Amino acid sequence: MKQNMGQTDKMIRLSVAVLIAIMFFMNWISGTTAIVLGILAIIFAATSFINFCPIYSILGMNTKQKK
């Protein structure tokens, strides 16, 4: 698994995941919306931690800067 996510991409994904978590715990979202956004937040956080996005590899994208 080759890393294909840059630092900015990771920070944006983690920020969105944290924002969704805050919205959930503040009861701003609930029901089906909370479930769908919660799954999205988990996926964003997981891909940020492993530095790999499967969709990017399928599309041939790479946001990681080359040294």
Q: Give residue for tokens 């994208």.
A: 61
DSSP string, the chain: ------HHHHHHHHHHHHHHHHHHHTTSS-HHHHHHHHHHHHHHHHHHHHT--HHHHHHT---SPP-
| Per-residue model confidence as pLDDT tens digits over 17-55 | 999 999 999 999 999 999 999 999 999 999 999 999 999
Domain ranges, ordered by start, for the chain:
7-56
Write down the pLDDT at residue 49: 94
Task: Give the integer Cα–Cα distance in Å for 2 and 40.
Answer: 22
Task: Give the integer Cα–Cα distance in Å for 62 and 28.
Answer: 34
Q: Look at 6-15, 26-35, 55-64 and tell me which has the smallest mean pLDDT.
A: 55-64
Write down the pLDDT at residue 66: 77
> Mean pLDDT over residues 2-24, rounded?
94
Write down the pLDDT at residue 65: 82
**Does the structure show a pLDDT above 90 at 61?**
no
